[in-house]
């Protein structure tokens, strides 16, 4: 049929009009929905965009990190803001899925005109967003992405946490010295840049120290059954098992290992730190497990204790975990750089961030090196009677 | 050798759960000739019913655990009937494609409704039964694995008995053979279809509880992958064929486990599905299915 009947063409036109009206109607409401008064350079507030995994498999991390950031922004505003302006934080959820963060950050930059971006915990998703920030010349500070590739993306990308080569090496030392392990089995998540990277750096450090990786098994995030891999690991009879993954899978792995009668020490990295780990695996199964992380709320340091008290007062008595502390630090380091730069201009803030030296963070004194990474101490946590317990601090 | 036996046990307990879900797919296909894609989400609802009821029914003891299991099955049976009445019955005489698309819609509704209602984050599933580990030499069998096997075998026997030894089961088989003829000899087709949905959904509910018991982290999208595997199991065994679905489920579970235990663990799903394609190349109707000429 070549010719449209007058009836259908009119209907088509009406639909178009309706669609246009809808679009027009959406625009103003969408703009104010984001919460910040974002009107470009001469704005009355300093608009900072934060992308986070508020729901999904790493929701605990995203929520903690976001609460830390929020607390920092609120404290900064209470202290009078910066450069005569108040901060305004826009937060968007990427649902712990790949592909969302790019869209969010693009929207932050083009629609909300943010002056800086904060995020996120998972290295894979930070690596998605970083090229967008780099291209737009907007400084991005990741609170807790530990994969080295994140800041390699460009000179506008920073982080306030230690990186996986350091974490992998310290875990290798821990396995050799504290656990007295000579043969370690590795069970890593192939679908996660964090897990894969940390596993590799651990192997480098561990084999360099004379240890042996006796069995290497893989899984994919969202897997539920690890008994097959664990049975193969058990048959190789290692001294300990290293699981560089996130807490959802790590909890299931520990529980299933104990079900198979594996009583060996099992240890992991900072991806383990969430109360869900204990809920999923159960306190009993977690006996003889360890992980490394960025700070311990049990520390006697005055800065840590002030932060813990402020956090508990703000969020119904919740004790802040490492992700919350790093979320807090990321906002504070950014604000400090803006203060030293005396402006929110992207390039100047970038230079100020790069010059950050011995800034007193909750997670320890932070200096950003030439590769825009923080070097700082790590702590080892163990689980005793169903509770996380501080074991030791390891200096870089 | 020990490793092989251990993997066999692991594979059987995973396969038994796939078998339970696969039966639901195959039963609905048997009577209505369409794939009920919402089935995997009924499975998810089953584990959430268990999650919310466990503290109330005194989980942690054998009796409490069984109470949770049977209430989840009952709730899912009810849900299955409601889904059938609201979504599929109005489309009874439409083309199967229409019903199929509706099934996908119901599946999405349950998944997204679940995210809204239960929250999108993974939850830790409580312990239902007292847990111990049994050791046979080097072999370790957890009580959970035994419970999965025992419950699955019990339900399979019950299902066989219902389908082959009761009036309603005979009616189901008659309907599956020829729906028009069945209604001509006085079978109430609607009642039988509702019953089929109730039965299949109850099995999915049991599967949900057993799955969550073994892998105690549940989320509203947890049904997708096991549901897909169970669907594959049903096709592998010959869709519409009950023993075929059970066999297919066990096979998929075993293949997956054995591949996961080797160096090729990342290719687990790829290899499992490649095997499926191979089997279907040589036996297009599935392992136990019979080729039927489509009447036009």
Structure ipTM: 0.79
Q: A183 and A282 share a domain?
A: yes
The stretch A234-248 carries a mean pLDDT of 92
Res A244: pLDDT: 93
Q: Is A72 inside any structural domain?
A: yes
Could you tell me which of A282, A263, A269, A273 has the C-alpha nearest to residue A186?
A269
pLDDT tens for each residue of chain B, 296 residues long? 788 888 999 899 999 999 999 999 999 898 888 889 999 999 999 999 999 999 998 878 889 999 999 999 999 999 999 999 999 999 988 888 899 999 999 999 999 999 889 987 788 899 898 888 888 877 888 888 899 999 999 999 999 999 999 999 999 999 988 889 999 999 999 999 999 999 999 999 999 999 999 888 898 989 998 999 999 999 889 888 889 999 999 999 999 888 888 877 778 888 878 887 888 888 888 888 776 655 54
Q: Of A293, A309, A335, which residue is a domain's last?
A: A293
Which residue among B7, B124, B214 places its CB closest to the CB of A279?
B124
The half-sphere exposure of A143 on its side-chain side, counting CA atoms within 13 A, is: 37
Q: Could you tell me if B217 lies within 8 Å of chain A, comparing CB atoms?
A: yes
User: What is the crossing angle of helices B167-177 and B143-165, to 10°?
Assistant: 80
Res A28: pLDDT: 39
Q: A283 and A342 share a domain?
A: no
Q: Is A389 inside any structural domain?
A: no
Which residue among A57, A224, A232 places its CB closest to the CB of B3?
A232
Q: Is A112 inside any structural domain?
A: yes
Please measure the distance between the N-terminal and C-terminal CA atoms of chain B and give it in whole angstroms.
53
Percent of chain A past pLDDT 70, that is, above it, reads: 89
The verdict on a CB contact (< 8 Å) between B122 and A231 is: no
The CA-CA-CA angle for residues A287, A288, A292, to 5°, reads 110
CB atoms within 10 A of CB A305: 14
User: pLDDT by residue (tens digit) across A267-326?
Assistant: 999 889 888 888 888 888 898 999 999 988 888 888 999 999 999 999 998 889 899 999
- For residue A267 the two structure tokens come to 């240890």
Res B294: pLDDT: 53
Which residue among B7, B142, B265 places its CB closest to the CB of A259?
B142
Owning domain of residue A325: 45-162+300-376
Q: How far is CA A170 from CA A55, A178, A326, A356, in A?
A: 31, 11, 19, 24
> What residues of chain B lie within 8 A of the CB of A280, using their CB?
122, 124, 216-217
Length of chain B: 296
The verdict on a CB contact (< 8 Å) between A224 and B140 is: no
Tell how far CA A201 is from the center of its chain.
Answer: 19
Q: Is A382 inside any structural domain?
A: no
In chain B, where are the structural domains located? 20-223
The pTM (predicted TM-score) of the whole model is: 0.79
The verdict on a CB contact (< 8 Å) between A228 and B261 is: yes
Alpha helices in chain B (DSSP H): 2-32, 39-53, 62-83, 96-118, 143-165, 167-177, 179-184, 189-214, 224-237, 242-260, 268-282
Q: Is A86 inside any structural domain?
A: yes
Closest approach of B21 to chain A, Cα-based (Å): 16
Q: A140 and A179 share a domain?
A: no
Q: A245 and A347 share a domain?
A: no
> What residues of chain B lie within 8 A of the CB of A234, using their CB?
3, 6
Q: In this model, does residue A388 exceed pLDDT 60?
A: yes
The CA-CA-CA angle for residues A26, A31, A32, to 5°, reads 110
Res A376: pLDDT: 84
Q: A135 and A175 share a domain?
A: no
The kind and range of the H/E element at A284 are none
Q: In this model, does residue A372 exceed pLDDT 80?
A: yes
Q: A169 and A284 share a domain?
A: yes
What part of B 4-63 touches A (C-beta under 8 Å)?
6-7, 10-11, 14
Strands A140-142, A157-159: parallel, antiparallel or unpaired by DSSP?
parallel
Length of chain A: 396
Q: Could you tell me if B266 lies within 8 Å of chain A, comparing CB atoms?
A: yes
Closest residue of chain B to A61, computed from CA coordinates:
B121
Q: Is A289 inside any structural domain?
A: yes
Question: Would you give the DSSP letter of residue A271?
Answer: G
User: What is the crossing angle of helices B167-177 and B189-214, to 10°?
Assistant: 100
Closest residue of chain A to B125, computed from CA coordinates:
A280
Q: Could you tell me if A284 lies within 8 Å of chain B, comparing CB atoms?
A: no
Report the mean per-residue pLDDT for chain A. 86
User: pLDDT by residue (tens digit) across A152-210?
Assistant: 999 999 999 988 888 999 899 999 988 999 999 999 998 888 899 999 999 999 999 88
A148 and A194 Cβ atoms separated by less than 8 Å: no
The verdict on a CB contact (< 8 Å) between B217 and A280 is: yes
The residue whose two tokens read 């971006």 is: A117
Q: Best interface-test mutation with A: which of B260, B266, B268 has the largest number of A CBs within 10 A?
A: B260
Q: Is A36 inside any structural domain?
A: no
What part of B 121-180 touches A (C-beta under 8 Å)?
121-122, 124, 127, 131, 133, 135, 140, 142, 144-145
Q: Return phi, psi of residue A383, to 5°.
A: -115, 125
The verdict on a CB contact (< 8 Å) between B140 and A261 is: yes
Res A36: pLDDT: 40
Question: Would you give the DSSP letter of residue B121?
Answer: S
Which residue among B120, B133, B260 places its CB closest to the CB of A55?
B120
Q: Of A267, A293, A319, which residue is a domain's last?
A: A293
How many folded domains does chain A comprise? 2
Q: A315 and A249 share a domain?
A: no
Which residue among B120, B211, B257 places its CB closest to the CB of A228?
B257
Contacts of A271 (CB under 8 A, 6+ apart): A194, A195, A198, A244, A245, A246, A247, A250
Calpha distance B11→B5 (Å, rounded): 10
Q: In this model, does residue A123 exceed pLDDT 70?
A: yes
What part of A 125-184 touches B (C-beta under 8 Å)?
none
Question: For the domain that residue A59 is a member of, what is the CATH number?
Answer: 3.40.50.2300
């Amino acid at each position: 049929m070549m010719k449209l009947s007058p009836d259908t063409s009119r209907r088509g036109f009406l639909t178009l009009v309706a669609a246009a009206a809808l679009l027009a109607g959406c625009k103003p409401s969408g703009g104010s929905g984001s919460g910040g008064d974002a009107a470009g350079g001469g704005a009355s507030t300093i608009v900072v965009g934060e992308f986070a995994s508020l729901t999904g498999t790493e929701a605990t991390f995203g929520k903690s990190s976001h609460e830390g950031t929020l607390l920092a922004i609120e404290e900064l505003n209470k202290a009078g803001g910066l450069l005569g302006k108040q901060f305004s934080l826009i937060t968007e959820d990427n649902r712990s899925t790949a592909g969302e963060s790019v869209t969010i950050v693009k929207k932050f930059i083009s629609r909300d005109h943010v002056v800086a971006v904060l995020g996120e915990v998972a290295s894979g998703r930070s690596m998605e967003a970083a090229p967008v920030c780099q291209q737009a010349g907007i400084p991005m500070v990741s609170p807790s992405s530990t994969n080295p590739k994140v800041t390699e993306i460009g000179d506008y990308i920073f982080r306030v946490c230690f990186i996986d080569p350091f974490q992998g090496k310290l875990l290798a030392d821990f396995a050799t010295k504290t656990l007295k392990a000579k043969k370690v089995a590795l069970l890593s998540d192939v679908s996660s840049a964090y897990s894969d990277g940390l596993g590799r750096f651990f192997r480098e450090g561990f084999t360099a120290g004379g240890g042996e990786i006796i069995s290497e098994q893989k899984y994919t995030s969202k897997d539920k059954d690890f008994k097959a891999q664990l049975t193969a690991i058990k048959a190789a009879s290692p001294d300990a098992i290293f699981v560089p993954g996130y807490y959802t899978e790590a909890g299931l792995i520990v529980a299933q290992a104990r079900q198979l009668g594996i009583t060996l020490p099992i240890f992991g990295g900072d991806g383990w730190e969430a109360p869900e780990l204990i809920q999923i695996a159960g306190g009993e199964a977690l006996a003889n497990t360890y992980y490394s992380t960025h700070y311990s709320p049990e520390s006697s340091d005055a800065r840590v204790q002030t932060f813990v008290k402020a956090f508990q007062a703000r969020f119904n008595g919740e004790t802040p975990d490492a992700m919350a502390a790093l979320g807090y630090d990321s906002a504070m380091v950014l604000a400090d750089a803006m203060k030293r730069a005396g402006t929110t201009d992207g390039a100047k803030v970038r230079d100020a961030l790069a010059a950050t030296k011995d800034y007193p963070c909750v997670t320890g004194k932070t200096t950003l090196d030439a590769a825009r990474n923080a070097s700082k101490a790590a702590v080892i946590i163990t689980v005793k009677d169903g509770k996380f317990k501080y074991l030791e601090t390891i200096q870089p | 050798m020990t490793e092989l036996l251990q993997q066999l046990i692991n594979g059987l307990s995973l396969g038994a759960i796939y078998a339970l879900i696969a039966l639901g797919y195959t039963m609905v296909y048997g009577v209505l000739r369409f794939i009920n894609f919402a089935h995997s989400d009924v499975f998810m609802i089953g584990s959430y019913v268990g999650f919310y009821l466990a503290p109330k029914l005194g989980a942690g003891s054998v009796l409490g655990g069984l109470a949770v299991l049977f209430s989840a099955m009952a709730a899912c049976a009810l849900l299955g009937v409601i889904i059938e009445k609201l979504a599929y019955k109005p489309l009874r005489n439409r083309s199967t494609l229409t019903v199929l698309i509706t099934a996908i819609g119901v599946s999405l509704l349950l998944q997204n409704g679940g995210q809204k209602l239960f929250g999108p984050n993974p939850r830790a599933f409580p312990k239902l039964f007292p847990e111990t580990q049994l050791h046979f030499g080097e072999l370790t069998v957890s009580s959970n694995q035994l419970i999965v096997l025992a419950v699955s075998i019990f339900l399979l026997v019950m299902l066989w008995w219902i389908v082959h030894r009761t009036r309603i089961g005979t009616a189901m088989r008659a309907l599956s053979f020829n729906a028009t003829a069945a209604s001509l000899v006085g079978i109430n087709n609607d009642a039988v279809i509702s019953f089929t949905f109730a039965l299949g959904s109850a099995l999915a509910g049991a599967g949900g509880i057993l799955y969550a018991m073994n892998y105690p982290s549940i989320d509203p999208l947890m049904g997708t992958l096991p549901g897909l595997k169970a669907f594959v199991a049903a096709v592998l065994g010959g869709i519409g064929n009950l023993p075929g679905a059970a066999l297919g489920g066990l096979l998929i579970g075993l293949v997956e486990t054995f591949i996961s235990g080797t160096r090729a663990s990342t290719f687990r799903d790829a290899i499992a599905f490649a095997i499926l394609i191979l089997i279907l190349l040589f036996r297009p109707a599935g392992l136990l299915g019979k080729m039927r000429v489509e009447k036009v």
